[in-house]
Amino acid sequence: LYIGGGFPEILGNNLSKNQIMKKSIKKLSEDNFPIYAECGGLMYLTKSITNNNKKYKMVGLFDAETVMTKKMRLNYTKGKLSNKNILSNTLHAFRGHEFHYSQLESVPSDSKFAFSLEIGEGIINQQDGLIQNNTLASYGHLYFDSSNYAEIFVKNCLNESRR
């Protein structure tokens, strides 16, 4: 499952009401189904999104809360994979970008991150890509041009479909 970027805060009310979808996605992750989420997808997988003093419950896969801010974060990103994940089984360099008006709060100190950034902010302390089960969710949008991330993700999905 790929959950792309976007602006989930705009549809916060509708997303929070879709209990079937939220439960389905959480169950897929708990069953180790491969899930890759970028930016808006990351926000959707947290416990909630707060926008204009309204709090909307989201999937709750990651034990953190998304809060919309006035500050725009727009950066190229560059870093190294710090933990194996559904996109890579080797720890090597990557490039991408991040663009968002939100931040994650109450991120548990024992959270596992996929990426260590040299350039960019990430989720916290230049760490990005929360990992749980077979799910990877990051603020960063990775560039797939010179990597085999897409191939590895598709192989993981195919392996899961045969299980």
Tell the residue number behind the tokens 């720890």, with chain if given. Answer: 91
Q: Are 108 and 95 in contact (CB under 8 A)?
A: no
The burial of 151, by beta-carbon neighbours within 10 Å (0-12 exposed, 13-18 middle, 19 or more buried), is given as exposed
Task: Write out the two tokens for 114.
Answer: 């996929």
Q: Which residues are catalytic?
A: 39
CA-based end-to-end distance of the chain: 16
